[in-house]
Amino acid sequence: MGPHPAVAAIRLAVRRVLHDVLTEFHRHDGPGRPAAEARRTAPASAAPRYAEAGTAGSRPRTAALTERPAAPLVLVACSGGADSMALASALAFEARKLDVRAGGITVDHNLQSGSGLRAAEVVTRLAAMDLDPVEAVAVHVGREGGPEAAARDARYAALDAAAERHGAAAVLLGHTRDDQAETVLLGLARGSGIRSLSGMAAASGPAGRYRRPFLQLDRQTARKACLVQSIPVWDDPHNIDPAYTRSRLRHEGLPALEKALGKGVVEALARTAQLSRDDADALDTWAAEAELAVRDETGQLECAKLYVLPSAVRRRVLRRAVIEAGAPAGSLFARHLEEVDRLITGWRGQRAINLPGRVEARRQGGRLVIRQS
């Protein structure tokens, strides 16, 4: 008898991602290449760790270090919740059948009493799955952008550092189709553009570091997989705290939509995300090509050439230029780009536009000059 359907589904999703990682690893790190040579050896056994972000402290399980064949390391980011524990179990199972090393990272945000103990428990559970290395990383969560955004920024910074420290080829994240639907609705509520409505990509980050195998699976599938495998899970109280926007959307907003519109809202939103992503990718490619054609021989943007571009393409060109000048991407909103766009389409002798990051945009001699003040 084969595994439970939920277990089979999560394993298949992870297997597909691991095959992609292996293909890319061997394509880019073939025999004789320096980058590959630097990863020819790795500890046969590494210790579970508990460290401050960016540091490494450990309690070795064994002092022996032996050479092992070259193989990509794939880490799972695990909070201890059902989604990430299901992901960790599938990674541990599939990695044993493939030429892949599997490890795990849990991030302690220090936002709840006992978070350190919870992180230590997750490390123990990951180590019991024979993931190696496993590590808990403590971070400090700031306040910029609100509590949810600040926690996310701290978490990804810690995961980036861990991936670099261990030389990981990929980091798996447990976002499900339900998370994707919530992300689309949050983007819609903010009045964001099509890129925001495209939700989370299956691969993102530096060189596609972050992989999301479960975007086509619902949250209940992951929870069921944990249940039938007797995998203990931790339910984060923040996920039901109405103080958090995503929590309200999850427990109030989406159920209300399903009551009004019928079942299938989550699936429809996930499809919308993929369609929006395809459109956004095409427009980004168009904008990158158009940008070369709208600059003069000195590299300045020519207003007349910008004017004839379709609005969606022109604003992408402007956004790229503003970010290149030093504006933080996360602080650049649609209203900023609308003001800059009016320097092209509604020129009435306006003054310079002040943008995040002390960036200034002004029209001068038929050129759009964007620079830090």
Distance CA 158, CA 342 (A): 40
Where is pLDDT greater, at 30 or 199?
199
Q: Pick the range with the lowest mean pLDDT from 219-233, 330-344, 352-366.
A: 330-344
What mean pLDDT comes out for the span 25-51? Answer: 49
pLDDT at 51: 53
Q: What is the pLDDT of residues 307-334, one digit of tens each?
A: 999 999 999 999 999 999 999 987 888 8
Distance CA 16, CA 304 (A): 48
pLDDT at 146: 76
Q: What are phi and psi of 305, to 5 degrees?
A: -75, -35
If one counts every other C-beta atom within 10 angstroms of the C-beta of residue 222, the result is 28
pLDDT at 69: 44
Render 322-346 in DSSP notation, one character per residue: HHHTT--GGG--HHHHHHHHHHHHS
Mean pLDDT rounded to a whole number for the chain? 87
Does pLDDT of 49 surpass 60?
A: no
Burial group, residue 73, by CB count within 10 angstroms (0-12, 13-18, 19+): buried
What mean pLDDT comes out for the span 26-38? Answer: 51
pTM of the predicted protein model: 0.81
303 Cβ contact list (under 8 Å, min separation 6): 343, 344, 347, 363, 366, 367, 368
260 token code pair:
């009004």
Does pLDDT of 53 surpass 60?
A: no
Q: What is the pLDDT of residues 170-190, one digit of tens each?
A: 999 999 999 999 999 988 887
